[in-house]
Structure 1
Amino acid sequence: MLSVPAPARPVPVASTHPGWAEAADLTMLRTRLTATVSMRRAGDLGAPVLTPSDAVVLRFPFGRCRIALKADTDWRHCGEAAAGFVFASAPNDVVRTEWVNDGEELILTVPTSYWQGRISDRMLAILSRKKPCRHGDAMLQQLVKLLMQSAHEDIQSAFARPLVQAIVERLIVAGADDRIRRAPARHPQALASYRMAHVIRYVREHLAEPVTLENMAHAAGISPMHFAAQFRAATGKRPHHYLLEERVARAMELMRHTSWTLCQIALATGFGTQAHFCTVFKRYAGMTPREWRISVAVHVA
Protein backbone atom coordinates (compact mmCIF):
# COMPACT_ATOMS: atom_id res chain seq x y z
CA MET A 1 0.00 0.00 0.00
CA LEU A 2 1.32 3.42 -0.94
CA SER A 3 2.25 5.65 1.96
CA VAL A 4 1.10 9.26 1.60
CA PRO A 5 2.12 12.05 4.01
CA ALA A 6 -0.55 12.96 6.54
CA PRO A 7 -1.89 16.53 6.67
CA ALA A 8 -2.97 18.54 9.66
CA ARG A 9 -6.63 18.08 8.74
CA PRO A 10 -8.69 16.83 5.78
CA VAL A 11 -9.75 19.19 3.03
CA PRO A 12 -13.53 19.70 2.68
CA VAL A 13 -14.70 19.28 -0.91
CA ALA A 14 -18.42 19.94 -0.95
CA SER A 15 -21.43 21.09 0.98
CA THR A 16 -25.08 20.33 0.48
CA HIS A 17 -27.68 22.87 -0.56
CA PRO A 18 -29.66 24.36 2.36
CA GLY A 19 -32.72 22.27 3.13
CA TRP A 20 -31.29 19.09 1.71
CA ALA A 21 -30.19 15.94 3.42
CA GLU A 22 -26.81 16.48 5.03
CA ALA A 23 -23.77 15.20 3.15
CA ALA A 24 -21.98 12.20 4.56
CA ASP A 25 -18.22 12.65 4.94
CA LEU A 26 -15.93 9.62 4.98
CA THR A 27 -12.38 10.80 5.55
CA MET A 28 -9.12 8.88 5.48
CA LEU A 29 -7.07 10.99 7.85
CA ARG A 30 -3.84 9.11 7.26
CA THR A 31 -3.86 9.42 3.49
CA ARG A 32 -5.86 12.60 3.10
CA LEU A 33 -8.26 10.89 0.72
CA THR A 34 -11.60 12.56 1.46
CA ALA A 35 -15.00 11.29 0.31
CA THR A 36 -18.28 13.22 0.37
CA VAL A 37 -21.67 11.83 -0.62
CA SER A 38 -24.37 14.43 -1.34
CA MET A 39 -28.01 14.21 -2.38
CA ARG A 40 -29.01 16.43 -5.30
CA ARG A 41 -32.38 17.55 -6.64
CA ALA A 42 -33.54 18.30 -10.16
CA GLY A 43 -32.92 21.92 -11.09
CA ASP A 44 -30.24 22.48 -8.48
CA LEU A 45 -27.37 24.72 -9.49
CA GLY A 46 -24.69 23.69 -7.03
CA ALA A 47 -22.49 26.21 -5.29
CA PRO A 48 -19.05 26.63 -6.93
CA VAL A 49 -16.44 24.31 -5.37
CA LEU A 50 -12.73 25.14 -5.43
CA THR A 51 -10.40 22.19 -6.00
CA PRO A 52 -7.58 22.31 -3.41
CA SER A 53 -4.21 23.46 -4.75
CA ASP A 54 -2.58 20.13 -3.83
CA ALA A 55 -5.26 17.70 -4.94
CA VAL A 56 -7.43 16.35 -7.75
CA VAL A 57 -11.20 16.06 -7.20
CA LEU A 58 -13.06 13.10 -8.77
CA ARG A 59 -16.85 13.28 -9.18
CA PHE A 60 -18.99 10.18 -9.66
CA PRO A 61 -22.63 11.21 -10.33
CA PHE A 62 -25.68 8.99 -9.89
CA GLY A 63 -28.21 11.02 -11.82
CA ARG A 64 -27.89 13.25 -14.85
CA CYS A 65 -26.06 16.54 -14.40
CA ARG A 66 -24.21 19.19 -16.38
CA ILE A 67 -20.73 20.20 -15.29
CA ALA A 68 -19.10 23.59 -15.78
CA LEU A 69 -15.66 25.08 -15.03
CA LYS A 70 -15.12 28.72 -14.22
CA ALA A 71 -12.93 30.54 -16.75
CA ASP A 72 -12.18 34.11 -15.70
CA THR A 73 -15.65 35.58 -15.08
CA ASP A 74 -17.58 33.09 -17.22
CA TRP A 75 -18.59 29.44 -16.83
CA ARG A 76 -17.43 26.97 -19.51
CA HIS A 77 -19.76 24.04 -20.14
CA CYS A 78 -17.73 20.80 -19.94
CA GLY A 79 -20.47 18.31 -20.81
CA GLU A 80 -23.11 16.08 -19.27
CA ALA A 81 -22.47 13.21 -16.88
CA ALA A 82 -24.53 10.44 -15.30
CA ALA A 83 -24.05 7.08 -13.61
CA GLY A 84 -20.98 5.38 -15.08
CA PHE A 85 -19.13 8.66 -15.65
CA VAL A 86 -16.26 10.31 -13.80
CA PHE A 87 -15.16 13.94 -13.96
CA ALA A 88 -11.71 15.00 -12.75
CA SER A 89 -10.91 18.60 -11.80
CA ALA A 90 -7.31 19.76 -11.54
CA PRO A 91 -5.82 21.78 -8.65
CA ASN A 92 -7.38 25.26 -8.30
CA ASP A 93 -10.23 24.50 -10.75
CA VAL A 94 -13.61 25.92 -9.72
CA VAL A 95 -16.44 23.53 -10.61
CA ARG A 96 -20.21 23.53 -10.30
CA THR A 97 -22.95 21.12 -11.36
CA GLU A 98 -26.50 21.65 -12.56
CA TRP A 99 -28.78 18.67 -11.98
CA VAL A 100 -31.30 17.57 -14.60
CA ASN A 101 -32.96 15.05 -12.27
CA ASP A 102 -32.76 13.92 -8.65
CA GLY A 103 -29.60 12.05 -7.82
CA GLU A 104 -26.51 11.72 -5.69
CA GLU A 105 -22.82 12.26 -6.22
CA LEU A 106 -19.66 10.92 -4.69
CA ILE A 107 -16.81 13.43 -4.56
CA LEU A 108 -13.30 12.16 -3.83
CA THR A 109 -10.42 14.51 -3.05
CA VAL A 110 -7.13 12.80 -3.91
CA PRO A 111 -3.77 14.43 -3.08
CA THR A 112 -1.53 14.95 -6.11
CA SER A 113 1.22 13.12 -4.21
CA TYR A 114 -0.91 9.96 -4.36
CA TRP A 115 -0.50 9.72 -8.14
CA GLN A 116 3.27 10.15 -8.27
CA GLY A 117 5.01 7.32 -10.08
CA ARG A 118 1.79 5.33 -10.39
CA ILE A 119 -0.07 6.93 -13.25
CA SER A 120 -0.08 6.09 -16.97
CA ASP A 121 -0.01 8.64 -19.80
CA ARG A 122 -3.60 7.65 -20.55
CA MET A 123 -4.70 8.38 -17.00
CA LEU A 124 -2.82 11.69 -17.07
CA ALA A 125 -4.79 12.65 -20.17
CA ILE A 126 -8.04 11.78 -18.43
CA LEU A 127 -7.15 14.00 -15.48
CA SER A 128 -6.25 16.94 -17.72
CA ARG A 129 -8.94 16.85 -20.42
CA LYS A 130 -11.60 18.57 -18.26
CA LYS A 131 -14.45 16.56 -19.80
CA PRO A 132 -16.75 13.94 -18.25
CA CYS A 133 -15.51 10.43 -19.10
CA ARG A 134 -17.50 7.20 -19.27
CA HIS A 135 -15.31 4.81 -17.32
CA GLY A 136 -17.05 1.62 -18.47
CA ASP A 137 -15.72 -0.39 -15.53
CA ALA A 138 -18.33 -2.54 -13.73
CA MET A 139 -16.10 -3.18 -10.72
CA LEU A 140 -15.37 0.53 -10.26
CA GLN A 141 -19.09 1.28 -10.42
CA GLN A 142 -19.88 -1.35 -7.79
CA LEU A 143 -17.22 0.05 -5.46
CA VAL A 144 -18.69 3.54 -5.84
CA LYS A 145 -22.20 2.24 -5.10
CA LEU A 146 -20.98 0.37 -2.04
CA LEU A 147 -19.24 3.45 -0.64
CA MET A 148 -22.33 5.61 -1.19
CA GLN A 149 -24.49 2.99 0.54
CA SER A 150 -22.12 2.87 3.50
CA ALA A 151 -22.40 6.64 3.83
CA HIS A 152 -26.20 6.48 4.00
CA GLU A 153 -26.13 3.66 6.53
CA ASP A 154 -23.65 5.56 8.71
CA ILE A 155 -21.17 2.69 8.67
CA GLN A 156 -17.95 3.32 10.56
CA SER A 157 -15.12 4.94 8.63
CA ALA A 158 -12.95 1.87 9.26
CA PHE A 159 -15.13 0.09 6.69
CA ALA A 160 -15.27 3.05 4.30
CA ARG A 161 -11.53 3.68 4.33
CA PRO A 162 -10.49 0.67 2.20
CA LEU A 163 -13.38 1.35 -0.18
CA VAL A 164 -12.14 4.87 -0.86
CA GLN A 165 -8.67 3.60 -1.58
CA ALA A 166 -9.99 0.74 -3.70
CA ILE A 167 -11.94 3.19 -5.89
CA VAL A 168 -8.86 5.28 -6.58
CA GLU A 169 -6.73 2.19 -7.22
CA ARG A 170 -9.35 0.77 -9.58
CA LEU A 171 -9.51 4.07 -11.44
CA ILE A 172 -5.75 3.90 -11.96
CA VAL A 173 -6.08 0.34 -13.29
CA ALA A 174 -8.96 1.29 -15.60
CA GLY A 175 -6.96 4.22 -16.95
CA ALA A 176 -3.92 2.03 -17.57
CA ASP A 177 -6.11 -0.49 -19.41
CA ASP A 178 -7.39 2.30 -21.66
CA ARG A 179 -10.99 1.44 -20.79
CA ILE A 180 -12.10 4.96 -19.90
CA ARG A 181 -13.67 6.72 -22.83
CA ARG A 182 -14.44 10.35 -23.35
CA ALA A 183 -18.10 11.25 -23.40
CA PRO A 184 -19.42 11.91 -26.92
CA ALA A 185 -19.02 15.58 -27.81
CA ARG A 186 -22.27 17.49 -27.81
CA HIS A 187 -22.53 20.80 -29.56
CA PRO A 188 -24.82 23.16 -27.65
CA GLN A 189 -27.77 24.48 -29.58
CA ALA A 190 -27.76 28.16 -30.44
CA LEU A 191 -29.85 30.52 -28.35
CA ALA A 192 -33.30 30.91 -29.91
CA SER A 193 -33.85 34.22 -31.70
CA TYR A 194 -36.71 35.28 -29.44
CA ARG A 195 -34.58 34.62 -26.36
CA MET A 196 -31.72 36.58 -27.92
CA ALA A 197 -34.07 39.50 -28.53
CA HIS A 198 -35.03 39.52 -24.84
CA VAL A 199 -31.36 39.53 -23.84
CA ILE A 200 -30.44 42.37 -26.21
CA ARG A 201 -33.35 44.47 -25.00
CA TYR A 202 -32.50 43.82 -21.35
CA VAL A 203 -28.82 44.69 -21.80
CA ARG A 204 -29.51 47.91 -23.70
CA GLU A 205 -32.08 49.03 -21.14
CA HIS A 206 -29.70 48.41 -18.21
CA LEU A 207 -26.32 49.52 -19.55
CA ALA A 208 -25.95 52.09 -16.76
CA GLU A 209 -26.30 49.32 -14.16
CA PRO A 210 -24.31 46.23 -13.17
CA VAL A 211 -25.40 43.35 -15.46
CA THR A 212 -24.50 39.79 -14.48
CA LEU A 213 -24.60 36.50 -16.34
CA GLU A 214 -27.54 35.53 -14.14
CA ASN A 215 -29.40 38.71 -15.18
CA MET A 216 -28.92 37.92 -18.85
CA ALA A 217 -29.90 34.28 -18.40
CA HIS A 218 -33.05 35.33 -16.54
CA ALA A 219 -33.96 37.65 -19.42
CA ALA A 220 -33.52 34.70 -21.80
CA GLY A 221 -35.62 32.46 -19.56
CA ILE A 222 -33.03 29.68 -19.10
CA SER A 223 -30.38 28.67 -16.57
CA PRO A 224 -27.02 30.53 -16.52
CA MET A 225 -25.10 27.39 -17.54
CA HIS A 226 -27.34 26.74 -20.55
CA PHE A 227 -27.41 30.42 -21.45
CA ALA A 228 -23.62 30.85 -21.60
CA ALA A 229 -23.20 27.87 -23.94
CA GLN A 230 -26.17 28.73 -26.18
CA PHE A 231 -25.28 32.42 -26.37
CA ARG A 232 -21.75 31.58 -27.51
CA ALA A 233 -23.08 29.06 -30.04
CA ALA A 234 -25.35 31.77 -31.49
CA THR A 235 -22.91 34.70 -31.50
CA GLY A 236 -19.42 33.27 -31.21
CA LYS A 237 -18.93 35.55 -28.20
CA ARG A 238 -19.02 35.12 -24.46
CA PRO A 239 -21.87 37.01 -22.79
CA HIS A 240 -19.41 39.21 -20.86
CA HIS A 241 -17.61 40.25 -24.05
CA TYR A 242 -20.93 41.07 -25.73
CA LEU A 243 -21.89 43.21 -22.73
CA LEU A 244 -18.63 45.18 -22.96
CA GLU A 245 -19.15 45.71 -26.68
CA GLU A 246 -22.60 47.15 -26.00
CA ARG A 247 -21.20 49.46 -23.32
CA VAL A 248 -18.47 50.69 -25.69
CA ALA A 249 -20.97 51.22 -28.52
CA ARG A 250 -23.23 53.30 -26.23
CA ALA A 251 -20.20 55.31 -25.09
CA MET A 252 -19.36 56.07 -28.72
CA GLU A 253 -22.89 57.36 -29.29
CA LEU A 254 -22.67 59.63 -26.26
CA MET A 255 -19.25 60.97 -27.24
CA ARG A 256 -20.49 61.65 -30.77
CA HIS A 257 -23.77 63.36 -29.83
CA THR A 258 -23.20 64.95 -26.40
CA SER A 259 -20.65 67.15 -24.67
CA TRP A 260 -20.60 64.98 -21.55
CA THR A 261 -17.32 64.45 -19.79
CA LEU A 262 -15.64 61.05 -19.97
CA CYS A 263 -16.49 60.51 -16.32
CA GLN A 264 -20.19 61.12 -16.99
CA ILE A 265 -20.11 58.77 -19.97
CA ALA A 266 -18.33 56.09 -17.95
CA LEU A 267 -21.06 56.19 -15.30
CA ALA A 268 -23.85 56.27 -17.89
CA THR A 269 -22.52 53.14 -19.58
CA GLY A 270 -21.99 51.07 -16.44
CA PHE A 271 -18.20 51.17 -16.19
CA GLY A 272 -18.18 52.60 -12.69
CA THR A 273 -14.95 54.58 -13.08
CA GLN A 274 -13.35 56.59 -15.84
CA ALA A 275 -10.16 54.54 -15.56
CA HIS A 276 -11.99 51.25 -16.20
CA PHE A 277 -13.91 52.84 -19.05
CA CYS A 278 -10.70 54.05 -20.73
CA THR A 279 -9.01 50.67 -20.36
CA VAL A 280 -11.89 48.69 -21.90
CA PHE A 281 -12.56 51.29 -24.60
CA LYS A 282 -8.96 51.19 -25.82
CA ARG A 283 -9.04 47.39 -25.88
CA TYR A 284 -12.06 47.40 -28.19
CA ALA A 285 -11.54 50.61 -30.22
CA GLY A 286 -7.75 50.61 -30.48
CA MET A 287 -7.46 54.14 -29.04
CA THR A 288 -8.42 56.02 -25.89
CA PRO A 289 -11.87 57.65 -25.61
CA ARG A 290 -10.28 61.09 -25.85
CA GLU A 291 -8.36 60.15 -29.00
CA TRP A 292 -11.48 58.59 -30.52
CA ARG A 293 -13.55 61.69 -29.77
CA ILE A 294 -10.96 63.98 -31.37
CA SER A 295 -10.70 61.77 -34.46
CA VAL A 296 -14.47 61.78 -34.94
CA ALA A 297 -14.65 65.58 -34.52
CA VAL A 298 -11.86 66.07 -37.08
CA HIS A 299 -13.54 63.69 -39.53
CA VAL A 300 -16.89 65.48 -39.22
CA ALA A 301 -15.25 68.89 -39.64
Structure 2
Amino acid sequence: MVRMAVPDRPVVVSTLVADGLVGSFGLGVAAEVFAYDRRHLGLPAFDFAPVTEHPGLVRTDTGLAMSVEHGLDRLVASDIVTVTAWERLDRAPSPAVLDALRAAHARGAVVVSQCSGAFVLAATGLLDGLRATTHWRYTGELAARHPAVRVDPAVLYVDNGRLITGAGTAAGVDTLLHLVRREWGAAAANALAREMVVPPHRDGGQAQFIDAPVAQVQDDLLGAVLEWAQAHLADDLTVDLLARRALMSPRTFARRFKAATGTTPHAWLLTQRLAAAEALLEGSDAPVEEVARLVGFGTAAGFREQFARRRGVSPRAYRQTFRRAARQGDGDRAA
Protein backbone atom coordinates (compact mmCIF):
# COMPACT_ATOMS: atom_id res chain seq x y z
CA MET A 1 0.00 0.00 0.00
CA VAL A 2 1.37 3.43 -0.98
CA ARG A 3 1.66 5.82 1.94
CA MET A 4 1.65 9.44 0.86
CA ALA A 5 1.34 11.27 4.15
CA VAL A 6 4.66 12.97 4.95
CA PRO A 7 4.96 13.91 8.63
CA ASP A 8 7.04 17.09 8.25
CA ARG A 9 5.25 18.76 5.31
CA PRO A 10 1.87 18.87 3.56
CA VAL A 11 1.02 16.38 0.85
CA VAL A 12 1.56 18.20 -2.45
CA VAL A 13 -1.36 17.73 -4.85
CA SER A 14 -1.39 19.14 -8.38
CA THR A 15 -4.24 19.00 -10.89
CA LEU A 16 -3.15 19.15 -14.52
CA VAL A 17 -5.49 21.17 -16.71
CA ALA A 18 -5.27 21.62 -20.47
CA ASP A 19 -4.16 24.98 -21.84
CA GLY A 20 -7.00 25.14 -24.36
CA LEU A 21 -10.09 24.06 -22.43
CA VAL A 22 -10.30 23.11 -18.75
CA GLY A 23 -12.76 20.49 -17.48
CA SER A 24 -14.19 22.60 -14.67
CA PHE A 25 -16.09 19.78 -12.95
CA GLY A 26 -13.02 17.58 -12.59
CA LEU A 27 -11.00 20.51 -11.28
CA GLY A 28 -13.79 21.28 -8.82
CA VAL A 29 -13.87 17.69 -7.55
CA ALA A 30 -10.10 17.68 -6.97
CA ALA A 31 -10.31 21.03 -5.21
CA GLU A 32 -13.19 19.85 -3.03
CA VAL A 33 -11.15 16.87 -1.83
CA PHE A 34 -7.69 18.45 -1.54
CA ALA A 35 -7.96 22.25 -1.33
CA TYR A 36 -9.49 22.53 2.14
CA ASP A 37 -8.00 21.96 5.58
CA ARG A 38 -9.70 18.78 6.71
CA ARG A 39 -7.21 17.58 9.28
CA HIS A 40 -10.08 17.39 11.77
CA LEU A 41 -11.38 14.46 9.68
CA GLY A 42 -8.15 12.51 9.99
CA LEU A 43 -6.67 13.71 6.70
CA PRO A 44 -3.20 15.24 6.35
CA ALA A 45 -2.54 18.83 5.37
CA PHE A 46 -2.59 19.30 1.59
CA ASP A 47 -0.81 21.81 -0.62
CA PHE A 48 -3.16 21.97 -3.64
CA ALA A 49 -2.87 23.90 -6.90
CA PRO A 50 -3.87 23.58 -10.57
CA VAL A 51 -1.05 23.25 -13.10
CA THR A 52 -0.89 23.93 -16.83
CA GLU A 53 1.81 23.88 -19.47
CA HIS A 54 1.72 27.64 -20.05
CA PRO A 55 0.69 29.46 -16.85
CA GLY A 56 -1.73 32.34 -17.19
CA LEU A 57 -5.38 32.66 -18.15
CA VAL A 58 -7.07 29.47 -19.37
CA ARG A 59 -10.68 29.01 -20.48
CA THR A 60 -12.98 26.49 -18.83
CA ASP A 61 -15.63 24.41 -20.55
CA THR A 62 -18.26 26.64 -18.92
CA GLY A 63 -16.88 29.70 -20.72
CA LEU A 64 -15.25 31.26 -17.68
CA ALA A 65 -11.58 32.20 -17.62
CA MET A 66 -9.32 31.26 -14.73
CA SER A 67 -5.76 32.14 -13.83
CA VAL A 68 -3.32 29.24 -13.34
CA GLU A 69 -0.05 30.25 -11.72
CA HIS A 70 1.91 26.98 -11.75
CA GLY A 71 3.70 25.29 -14.64
CA LEU A 72 4.73 21.69 -15.24
CA ASP A 73 7.71 21.89 -12.88
CA ARG A 74 5.27 21.57 -9.96
CA LEU A 75 4.19 18.12 -11.16
CA VAL A 76 7.61 16.64 -10.53
CA ALA A 77 7.50 17.89 -6.93
CA SER A 78 4.00 16.50 -6.30
CA ASP A 79 2.87 13.51 -4.23
CA ILE A 80 -0.46 13.26 -6.07
CA VAL A 81 -1.18 14.37 -9.63
CA THR A 82 -4.72 14.41 -10.99
CA VAL A 83 -5.47 14.87 -14.68
CA THR A 84 -8.83 16.43 -15.49
CA ALA A 85 -10.95 15.61 -18.54
CA TRP A 86 -9.09 16.32 -21.78
CA GLU A 87 -11.83 18.26 -23.54
CA ARG A 88 -10.08 18.32 -26.93
CA LEU A 89 -9.43 14.70 -27.84
CA ASP A 90 -8.35 15.86 -31.31
CA ARG A 91 -5.39 17.63 -29.71
CA ALA A 92 -2.66 15.31 -28.42
CA PRO A 93 -0.86 16.24 -25.19
CA SER A 94 2.48 17.90 -25.84
CA PRO A 95 5.76 16.02 -25.26
CA ALA A 96 6.44 18.38 -22.36
CA VAL A 97 3.21 17.36 -20.62
CA LEU A 98 3.87 13.66 -21.16
CA ASP A 99 7.47 13.95 -19.94
CA ALA A 100 6.33 15.79 -16.80
CA LEU A 101 3.80 13.08 -15.99
CA ARG A 102 6.37 10.33 -16.54
CA ALA A 103 8.85 12.16 -14.32
CA ALA A 104 6.27 12.64 -11.56
CA HIS A 105 5.40 8.95 -11.64
CA ALA A 106 9.06 7.91 -11.69
CA ARG A 107 9.68 10.10 -8.65
CA GLY A 108 6.92 8.25 -6.79
CA ALA A 109 3.77 10.32 -7.30
CA VAL A 110 0.34 8.74 -7.50
CA VAL A 111 -1.18 9.82 -10.84
CA VAL A 112 -4.97 9.82 -11.19
CA SER A 113 -6.92 10.49 -14.39
CA GLN A 114 -10.53 11.62 -14.43
CA CYS A 115 -12.86 10.93 -17.35
CA SER A 116 -11.08 11.53 -20.70
CA GLY A 117 -7.91 12.42 -18.82
CA ALA A 118 -7.18 8.71 -19.28
CA PHE A 119 -6.15 9.55 -22.86
CA VAL A 120 -3.36 11.74 -21.48
CA LEU A 121 -2.20 9.07 -19.07
CA ALA A 122 -2.36 6.41 -21.81
CA ALA A 123 -0.28 8.61 -24.12
CA THR A 124 2.58 8.49 -21.59
CA GLY A 125 2.81 4.71 -22.05
CA LEU A 126 2.47 4.20 -18.30
CA LEU A 127 -0.80 2.31 -18.74
CA ASP A 128 0.58 -0.18 -21.27
CA GLY A 129 -0.32 -3.70 -20.19
CA LEU A 130 -2.57 -2.43 -17.41
CA ARG A 131 -6.32 -2.32 -16.96
CA ALA A 132 -7.85 1.16 -17.17
CA THR A 133 -11.15 2.96 -17.66
CA THR A 134 -12.61 6.24 -18.88
CA HIS A 135 -16.10 7.59 -19.58
CA TRP A 136 -18.10 4.80 -21.21
CA ARG A 137 -18.67 7.02 -24.27
CA TYR A 138 -14.92 7.06 -24.95
CA THR A 139 -13.83 3.55 -24.03
CA GLY A 140 -13.89 2.30 -27.62
CA GLU A 141 -11.80 5.23 -28.78
CA LEU A 142 -9.32 4.75 -25.93
CA ALA A 143 -8.93 1.05 -26.80
CA ALA A 144 -8.47 1.87 -30.50
CA ARG A 145 -5.83 4.54 -29.90
CA HIS A 146 -3.96 2.61 -27.22
CA PRO A 147 -4.30 -1.14 -27.90
CA ALA A 148 -1.70 -1.96 -25.25
CA VAL A 149 -4.11 -0.69 -22.57
CA ARG A 150 -6.76 -3.14 -21.30
CA VAL A 151 -9.81 -0.89 -21.28
CA ASP A 152 -12.67 -1.81 -18.94
CA PRO A 153 -15.87 0.10 -19.86
CA ALA A 154 -17.95 -1.12 -16.92
CA VAL A 155 -16.21 0.13 -13.78
CA LEU A 156 -16.14 3.46 -11.94
CA TYR A 157 -12.37 3.37 -11.45
CA VAL A 158 -9.35 1.09 -11.78
CA ASP A 159 -6.61 1.12 -9.13
CA ASN A 160 -3.14 0.07 -10.31
CA GLY A 161 -1.31 1.31 -7.24
CA ARG A 162 0.35 4.57 -8.28
CA LEU A 163 -1.78 4.78 -11.43
CA ILE A 164 -5.55 5.20 -11.04
CA THR A 165 -8.04 5.84 -13.83
CA GLY A 166 -11.59 7.04 -13.21
CA ALA A 167 -14.69 6.94 -15.36
CA GLY A 168 -16.79 9.89 -16.45
CA THR A 169 -17.78 13.06 -14.64
CA ALA A 170 -19.17 12.22 -11.16
CA ALA A 171 -17.05 9.05 -11.03
CA GLY A 172 -14.22 11.45 -10.20
CA VAL A 173 -15.80 11.72 -6.76
CA ASP A 174 -15.77 7.92 -6.38
CA THR A 175 -12.18 7.75 -7.61
CA LEU A 176 -10.77 10.33 -5.22
CA LEU A 177 -12.77 9.01 -2.25
CA HIS A 178 -11.32 5.59 -3.04
CA LEU A 179 -7.84 7.11 -2.96
CA VAL A 180 -8.57 8.76 0.38
CA ARG A 181 -9.92 5.47 1.75
CA ARG A 182 -6.90 3.55 0.49
CA GLU A 183 -4.36 5.94 1.96
CA TRP A 184 -5.95 7.34 5.11
CA GLY A 185 -8.64 4.83 5.99
CA ALA A 186 -12.38 4.27 5.80
CA ALA A 187 -13.18 6.58 8.72
CA ALA A 188 -11.52 9.56 7.01
CA ALA A 189 -13.15 8.76 3.65
CA ASN A 190 -16.58 8.37 5.24
CA ALA A 191 -16.21 11.63 7.16
CA LEU A 192 -15.11 13.43 3.99
CA ALA A 193 -18.06 11.98 2.09
CA ARG A 194 -20.41 13.27 4.78
CA GLU A 195 -18.96 16.76 4.46
CA MET A 196 -19.33 16.56 0.67
CA VAL A 197 -22.87 15.13 1.07
CA VAL A 198 -22.14 12.18 -1.22
CA PRO A 199 -22.19 8.40 -0.73
CA PRO A 200 -18.85 7.16 0.63
CA HIS A 201 -18.98 4.26 -1.81
CA ARG A 202 -21.18 3.43 -4.79
CA ASP A 203 -21.59 -0.25 -5.59
CA GLY A 204 -21.48 -1.46 -9.17
CA GLY A 205 -19.93 0.31 -12.12
CA GLN A 206 -20.65 2.76 -14.85
CA ALA A 207 -22.36 0.04 -16.92
CA GLN A 208 -25.47 0.81 -14.91
CA PHE A 209 -25.52 4.35 -16.35
CA ILE A 210 -25.13 3.53 -20.04
CA ASP A 211 -28.71 2.68 -21.00
CA ALA A 212 -30.84 4.09 -18.20
CA PRO A 213 -30.54 5.82 -14.83
CA VAL A 214 -30.19 3.65 -11.75
CA ALA A 215 -33.44 2.95 -9.96
CA GLN A 216 -33.85 4.62 -6.58
CA VAL A 217 -33.31 1.37 -4.72
CA GLN A 218 -34.03 2.83 -1.31
CA ASP A 219 -37.59 3.65 -2.38
CA ASP A 220 -38.76 0.12 -3.10
CA LEU A 221 -38.89 -3.31 -1.54
CA LEU A 222 -35.49 -4.22 -2.92
CA GLY A 223 -33.95 -1.24 -1.14
CA ALA A 224 -35.53 -2.33 2.13
CA VAL A 225 -34.02 -5.79 1.71
CA LEU A 226 -30.58 -4.32 1.12
CA GLU A 227 -30.87 -2.20 4.25
CA TRP A 228 -31.87 -5.32 6.18
CA ALA A 229 -28.91 -7.24 4.75
CA GLN A 230 -26.49 -4.49 5.81
CA ALA A 231 -27.76 -4.86 9.37
CA HIS A 232 -27.41 -8.68 9.29
CA LEU A 233 -24.04 -9.23 7.64
CA ALA A 234 -23.10 -11.85 10.23
CA ASP A 235 -25.94 -14.08 9.01
CA ASP A 236 -25.69 -16.64 6.23
CA LEU A 237 -27.09 -14.36 3.52
CA THR A 238 -27.91 -16.32 0.38
CA VAL A 239 -29.64 -15.17 -2.78
CA ASP A 240 -32.56 -17.46 -1.90
CA LEU A 241 -32.94 -15.83 1.52
CA LEU A 242 -32.78 -12.29 0.15
CA ALA A 243 -35.16 -13.18 -2.66
CA ARG A 244 -37.71 -14.53 -0.16
CA ARG A 245 -37.55 -11.29 1.82
CA ALA A 246 -38.09 -9.37 -1.42
CA LEU A 247 -41.05 -11.62 -2.32
CA MET A 248 -39.35 -12.63 -5.57
CA SER A 249 -37.97 -15.77 -7.14
CA PRO A 250 -34.17 -16.04 -6.92
CA ARG A 251 -33.86 -15.49 -10.69
CA THR A 252 -36.07 -12.39 -10.66
CA PHE A 253 -34.28 -11.05 -7.59
CA ALA A 254 -30.85 -11.48 -9.18
CA ARG A 255 -32.03 -9.76 -12.36
CA ARG A 256 -33.64 -6.86 -10.47
CA PHE A 257 -30.59 -6.56 -8.22
CA LYS A 258 -28.19 -6.27 -11.17
CA ALA A 259 -30.43 -3.74 -12.93
CA ALA A 260 -30.66 -1.56 -9.81
CA THR A 261 -27.08 -1.75 -8.54
CA GLY A 262 -24.94 -2.73 -11.52
CA THR A 263 -23.45 -5.67 -9.64
CA THR A 264 -24.37 -9.13 -8.36
CA PRO A 265 -25.70 -9.93 -4.87
CA HIS A 266 -22.50 -11.84 -4.08
CA ALA A 267 -20.23 -8.97 -5.13
CA TRP A 268 -22.38 -6.44 -3.26
CA LEU A 269 -22.29 -8.49 -0.06
CA LEU A 270 -18.53 -8.87 -0.30
CA THR A 271 -18.15 -5.10 -0.64
CA GLN A 272 -20.41 -4.46 2.34
CA ARG A 273 -18.58 -7.00 4.49
CA LEU A 274 -15.17 -5.59 3.65
CA ALA A 275 -16.34 -2.06 4.43
CA ALA A 276 -17.77 -3.22 7.76
CA ALA A 277 -14.54 -5.05 8.50
CA GLU A 278 -12.50 -1.91 7.81
CA ALA A 279 -14.61 0.06 10.26
CA LEU A 280 -14.16 -2.59 12.96
CA LEU A 281 -10.42 -2.85 12.36
CA GLU A 282 -10.05 0.91 12.65
CA GLY A 283 -12.47 1.52 15.49
CA SER A 284 -12.34 -1.53 17.75
CA ASP A 285 -9.90 -3.90 19.45
CA ALA A 286 -11.85 -6.98 18.37
CA PRO A 287 -9.57 -9.86 17.32
CA VAL A 288 -9.44 -10.64 13.62
CA GLU A 289 -11.40 -13.84 14.26
CA GLU A 290 -14.21 -11.84 15.88
CA VAL A 291 -14.20 -9.27 13.08
CA ALA A 292 -14.53 -12.11 10.59
CA ARG A 293 -17.53 -13.48 12.49
CA LEU A 294 -19.24 -10.12 12.94
CA VAL A 295 -19.13 -9.24 9.24
CA GLY A 296 -20.15 -12.68 7.99
CA PHE A 297 -17.00 -14.34 6.71
CA GLY A 298 -17.13 -18.06 7.36
CA THR A 299 -13.65 -18.37 8.80
CA ALA A 300 -10.84 -16.07 9.84
CA ALA A 301 -8.66 -17.67 7.16
CA GLY A 302 -11.23 -16.91 4.47
CA PHE A 303 -11.55 -13.34 5.75
CA ARG A 304 -7.78 -12.81 5.69
CA GLU A 305 -7.56 -14.17 2.15
CA GLN A 306 -10.38 -11.98 0.81
CA PHE A 307 -9.19 -8.88 2.65
CA ALA A 308 -5.62 -9.25 1.42
CA ARG A 309 -6.78 -9.91 -2.14
CA ARG A 310 -9.01 -6.82 -2.25
CA ARG A 311 -7.02 -4.41 -0.08
CA GLY A 312 -3.46 -5.54 -0.75
CA VAL A 313 -2.56 -5.94 2.95
CA SER A 314 -3.51 -8.26 5.79
CA PRO A 315 -6.23 -7.20 8.27
CA ARG A 316 -3.57 -6.87 10.96
CA ALA A 317 -1.39 -4.62 8.80
CA TYR A 318 -4.42 -2.53 7.86
CA ARG A 319 -5.32 -2.03 11.52
CA GLN A 320 -1.76 -1.10 12.48
CA THR A 321 -1.48 1.38 9.61
CA PHE A 322 -4.72 3.24 10.22
CA ARG A 323 -4.58 3.07 13.99
CA ARG A 324 -1.13 4.70 13.72
CA ALA A 325 -2.49 7.30 11.29
CA ALA A 326 -5.40 8.04 13.63
CA ARG A 327 -3.09 8.48 16.63
CA GLN A 328 -0.87 10.79 14.60
CA GLY A 329 -3.90 12.79 13.49
CA ASP A 330 -5.11 13.13 17.08
CA GLY A 331 -1.66 14.37 18.06
CA ASP A 332 -1.64 16.92 15.24
CA ARG A 333 -5.08 18.23 16.23
CA ALA A 334 -4.07 18.44 19.90
CA ALA A 335 -0.99 20.42 18.93
Scaled by the length of structure 2, what TM-score is found?
0.32
Larger radius of gyration: 1
Higher share in strand = 1
